[in-house]
């Protein structure tokens, strides 16, 4: 079977040289027709041996509303629709993404090691809740020190309120956010400011409402299940069409929307025992696109299997993904900060495991996992630091709490500064979650806007059941309620108030030092040493590059603790100190130290020293 096209999208409605081609994959239908609603016209389709129905016509113009008629009976929107202006149940709209005049010809994607991610949800990031609203904040993000914005999924979902993981039209951009044109404008504006754009996509499941895929073909399989329902069909009968569908989707974002990187949601739930795993095939075709366009694109996985096969290069038998999230760093960091070890946190021993995360990336790399009741993980010895994304907050770790509390509601001000520093001095790619840089106090709750009452009630019940093993108290907020969504909006005015203003300055200072200091900017995991004191709850992280050394001293305890500076450097000069009064602290550490000095680390604090002279 012919693979997905590198040069252009082939599924749905496409335009070329004054005419349109309609293409629908529906291998088990006996008849398929294209309905043009404004013209009240019906165009018959012809089927090839692979199950693709096609017609070419000059009657179809951009903006045309259309549907497919299946077996002469049911009318359904296009599974490969680029626009659903009236939502997932109504006709599709034909679009030509190539008609957008880009102004980013001089843009070159950043090296992956220079990515500093800022994850945001379009609907709650600004009062407008649109792509246009985000554009108004790009200069702020640039000044903050961010180099890449990461959009939570924007695929069309029912209603106007959703995290995005219930999308049912992977090719269509959410209408209430600004649609396809709005996304192109945002990407263009980001590139004008030197910002990369990462898009979160979901290839492991589909949302429940408006999901008509099974009426077109065997998009799902009964062989496997996921936590969200039936698995997509990547290795069962007729799987070739499904694989092509999602590969064309990925290529479209890179080619037609100029997206710089895709974050692939929960790839451990992509079930595929084919000789060539779907992710490996995806990477191969992205590589072909890079050769065609001359632009680099990145694939970043969310995966919790601690299996380097996902990020090992193709030539070594891996899937070739460029990077992955590592939740284990987050879990170890949170337990170090005082998080109760319940649920999946039960596997983590705090400061000891945080030290291991700095050193080895994976905390579990072959040991027995009490939470999983099995030996778990493999060693990640050869993988560079740029292949791991770390964070102290993200949409899951905040929103999966029953009340959606951010760090600002869980930890004292001093601990929040320490958490930020612990992420930004790591030898990995750092990610911020929107609003954390000014200690946003509003929660980030789970919200939906399903139109099916039974489904909405099922989501409510599922949300309550989700917290049983966390022993949470009280009632989970109603995901369907508009107030739940409104409570999750950022409060930009907090930046003008204390202590939020100080927190924002602290984040800017941390980001500046990360970019400025070669020992922090270079993500060499071999030029790193880490030690910890379990009793005192302190940790020393030492990183170096070409003679420049950075020492980060962290105290996670509630009392001042002694910390002796290493003897392998003669002099140490302070760069940053979270306990300094200028950052709202109580007592600053010495500005200069010599080898072997012992300083007093203030409670819940972080001090950063640098040295260039040899002992």
Q: Is 170 within 8 Å of 155 (Cβ atoms)?
A: yes
265 known ligand binder: yes
154 known ligand binder: no
Q: Exposure pattern of 587-610 as b/e (b: 16+ CB <10 Å)?
A: ebbeeebebeeebebbbbbbbbbb
Q: Is 179 within 8 Å of 186 (Cβ atoms)?
A: no
Pinpoint the alpha helices (H) of 526-597.
none
**Nearest residue to 402 via CA among 479, 310, 335, 318:** 479
**Nearest residue to 507 via CA among 417, 431, 579:** 417
264 known ligand binder: yes
The residues, any chain, with a CB within 8 Å of residue 252's CB and separated by 6 or more, are 9, 97, 171
Q: Which helix (H) or strand (E) covers residue 186, if one does?
A: helix 179-192
263 known ligand binder: yes
Q: How far apart are CA 269 and CA 531, in angstroms?
A: 36
Specify the 3-state DSSP secondary structure of 267.
helix
Q: How far apart are CA 508 and CA 146, in angstroms?
A: 9
Antiparallel, parallel or unpaired: β 229-232 and 374-375: unpaired
Q: Exposure pattern of 24-54 as b/e (b: 16+ CB <10 Å)?
A: bbbbebeebbbbbeeeeeebebebeeebbbe
The residues, any chain, with a CB within 8 Å of residue 610's CB and separated by 6 or more, are 517, 519, 548, 549, 550, 551, 572, 573, 575
331 known ligand binder: yes
Q: How far apart are CA 118 and CA 284, in angstroms?
A: 28
Q: Which helix (H) or strand (E) covers residue 25, if one does?
A: strand 19-25
Which residue matches tokens 């930890």?
A: 411
- The sign of the torsion formed by the CA atoms of 160, 164, 179, 270 equals negative
399 known ligand binder: yes
* 48 labelled catalytic: no
Longest distance between any two alpha carbons in the chain, whole Å:
84
Residues, the chain: 615
* 150 labelled catalytic: no
Q: Which two tokens stand for residue 195?
A: 């910002």
181 known ligand binder: no
Q: Give the chain's end-to-end CA distance (angstroms, integer).
A: 65
Strand partners, 381: none
> Which of 33, 265, 272, 414 is labelled catalytic?
265
> Which of 33, 209, 236, 302 is labelled catalytic?
302
Residue 319's Cβ-count burial label (10 Å; 0-12, 13-18, 19+) is buried
396 known ligand binder: yes
400 known ligand binder: yes
**Nearest residue to 479 via CA among 456, 452, 507:** 456
597 known ligand binder: no
**Nearest residue to 391 via CA among 371, 360, 420:** 420
Q: Which two tokens stand for residue 520?
A: 């922090």
**Nearest residue to 194 via CA among 154, 143, 131:** 143
329 known ligand binder: yes
Antiparallel, parallel or unpaired: β 368-369 and 65-70: unpaired
The residues, any chain, with a CB within 8 Å of residue 269's CB and separated by 6 or more, are 204, 205, 226, 227, 228, 231
Q: How many CB atoms lie within 10 A of CB 426?
A: 25
Q: Is 131 within 8 Å of 183 (Cβ atoms)?
A: yes
471 known ligand binder: no
Q: Which residues are catalytic?
A: 265, 302
- Please report, in range form, the residues annotated as the binding site: 263-268, 327-331, 395-400
- Please report, in range form, the residues annotated as the binding site for substrate: 263-268, 327-331, 395-400
């Amino acid at each position: 079977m012919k693979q997905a096209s590198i040069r252009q999208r082939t599924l749905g409605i496409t335009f070329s040289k004054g005419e349109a081609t309609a293409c629908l994959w529906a291998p088990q239908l006996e008849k398929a027709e294209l309905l043009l609603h404004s013209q009240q016209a019906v165009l018959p389709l012809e089927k090839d041996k692979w199950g693709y129905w096609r017609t070419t016509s000059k009657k179809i113009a951009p903006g045309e509303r259309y549907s497919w008629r299946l077996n002469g009976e049911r009318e359904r929107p296009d599974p490969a629709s680029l626009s659903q202006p009236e939502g997932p149940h109504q006709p599709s709209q034909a679009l030509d993404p190539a008609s957008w005049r880009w102004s980013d010809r001089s843009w070159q994607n950043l090296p992956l090691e220079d990515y500093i991610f800022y994850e945001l949800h379009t609907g709650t990031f600004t009062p407008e809740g649109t792509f246009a609203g985000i554009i108004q904040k790009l200069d702020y993000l640039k000044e903050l020190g961010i180099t890449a914005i990461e959009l939570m999924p924007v695929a069309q979902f029912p209603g106007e309120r959703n995290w995005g993981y219930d999308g049912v039209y992977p090719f269509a951009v959410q209408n209430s956010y600004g649609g396809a044109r709005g996304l192109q404008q945002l990407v263009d504006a980001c590139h004008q400011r030197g910002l990369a754009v990462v898009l979160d996509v979901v290839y492991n499941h589909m949302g429940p409402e408006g999901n008509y895929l099974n009426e077109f073909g065997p998009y799902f399989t009964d062989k496997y299940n996921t936590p969200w329902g039936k698995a997509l069909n990547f290795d069962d009968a007729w799987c070739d069409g499904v694989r092509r569908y999602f590969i064309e989707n990925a290529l479209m974002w890179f080619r037609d929307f100029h997206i710089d990187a895709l974050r692939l949601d929960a790839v451990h739930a992509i079930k595929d025992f084919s000789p060539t795993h779907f992710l490996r095939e995806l990477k191969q075709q992205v590589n072909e696109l890079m050769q065609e366009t001359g632009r680099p694109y990145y694939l970043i996985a969310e995966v919790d299997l601690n299996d380097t096969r996902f990020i090992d290069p193709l030539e070594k038998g891996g899937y070739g993904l460029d990077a992955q999230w590592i939740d284990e760093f987050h879990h170890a960091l949170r337990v170090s900060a005082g998080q109760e070890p319940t649920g999946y946190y039960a596997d983590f021993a705090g400061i000891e495991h945080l030290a291991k995360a700095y050193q080895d990336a994976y905390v579990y790399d072959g040991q027995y996992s009490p939470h999983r009741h099995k030996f778990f993980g493999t060693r990640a010895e050869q993988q560079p630091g740029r292949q791991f994304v770390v964070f102290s907050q993200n949409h899951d770790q905040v929103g999966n709490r029953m009340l959606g509390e951010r760090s600002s509601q869980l930890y004292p001000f001093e601990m929040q500064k320490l958490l930020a520093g612990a992420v930004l001095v790591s030898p990995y790619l750092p990610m911020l979650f929107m609003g954390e840089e000014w200690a946003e106090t509003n929660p980030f709750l789970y919200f939906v806007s399903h139109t099916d009452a039974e489904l909405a009630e099922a989501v409510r019940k599922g949300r309550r059941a989700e917290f049983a093993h966390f022993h949470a108290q009280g009632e989970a907020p109603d995901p369907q309620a508009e107030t739940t969504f409104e409570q999750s909006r950022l409060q930009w005015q907090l930046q003008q108030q204390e202590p939020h203003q100080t927190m924002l300055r602290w984040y800017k200072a941390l980001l500046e030092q990360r970019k400025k200091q070669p020992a922090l900017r270079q993500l060499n995991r071999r030029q790193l040493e880490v030690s910890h004191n379990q009793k005192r709850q302190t940790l020393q992280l030492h990183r170096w590059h070409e003679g420049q050394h950075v020492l980060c001293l962290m105290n996670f305890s509630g009392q001042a603790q002694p910390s002796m500076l290493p003897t392998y450097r003669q002099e140490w000069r302070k760069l940053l100190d979270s306990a300094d009064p200028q950052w709202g602290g109580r007592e600053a550490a010495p500005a200069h130290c010599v080898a072997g000095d012992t300083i007093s680390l203030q409670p819940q604090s972080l001090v950063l020293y640098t040295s260039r002279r040899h002992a």
